[in-house]
Amino acid sequence: NAGVTQTPKFQVLKTGQSMTLQCAQDMNHEYMSWYRQDPGMGLRLIHYSVGAGITDQGEVPNGYNVSRSTTEDFPLRLLSAAPSQTSVYFCASSYSARMNTEAFFGQGTRLTVV
Amino acid sequence: AQSVTQLDSQVPVFEEAPVELRCNYSSSVSVYLFWYVQYPNQGLQLLLKYLSGSTLVKGINGFEAEFNKSQTSFHLRKPSVHISDTAEYFCAVRVLESGYNKLIFGAGTRLAVHP
């Protein structure tokens, strides 16, 4: 039961560097999303996708890009990392974007930008 | 805009004592509510959900929550906590925007169970 897999688990970046956080799910879920978790702020939606080839912005999209070329994968790209992007990032997926189905979360990626 | 307010950022409690974690939401439309639990260094796990029907919802690990429409609340309760319940708990509301569902989270409540 792989579920939602995120890699890497930990990452340290220098300001200005770029990187991609990987997210893959093996449940054939239609809906995938990225959240960032910061102390006292809960989880905030960065980007989401309702199917292959379809993405849209969430609450805090600036500084991040996404793409969804396959149903399984939904990578999150940081184009030029900034200290304000130090956070824990969670990928989630659910069966349907329109029905009320359970969201499954990955284990998270802890990112530090120095 | 939809929002979720968790009234307590931290709740300390002794083992075997009852606990209530409070959650209020703002929504003018049909409401679908969730509680998630996050154990240290792990992802989020669904504890329970309210979609419709009975306002008292039972979840895993002995937790339950009551949906109160008039008070726009969805408080989480457990009659007797264990050390292993130490975790962060998130209340969330699912909203429909542009035809798609989105989860809006509260800031979280850190439950610390002491022996």
Give the pLDDT confidence score for residue A98 in this predicted structure.
75
Report pLDDT digits (tens) over B4-61. Answer: 999 999 999 999 999 999 999 987 666 789 999 999 888 899 999 998 888 899 999 9
B37 HSE (CA, 13 A, CB side): 18
B90 HSE (CA, 13 A, CB side): 25
User: A110 and A10 in contact (C-beta within 8 Å)?
Assistant: yes
- Location of structure tokens 């989105």: B102
Give the pLDDT confidence score for residue A2 in this predicted structure.
72
CA distance A81 to chain B (A): 23
Q: Residue A11's CB: how many other CB atoms inside 10 A?
A: 17
Tokens of B50: 């309210």
Identify which of B94, B101, B108 has the shortest CB distance to residue A42. B108
Report pLDDT digits (tens) over A50-92. Answer: 999 999 999 899 999 999 999 999 999 999 999 999 999 999 9
The Cα–Cα gap between A94 and A103 comes to 5
21-60 in A: which are within 8 Å (CB) of B?
31, 33, 35, 40-45, 48, 50, 56, 58
CA dihedral B69, B24, B92, B52 (to 10 degrees): -10
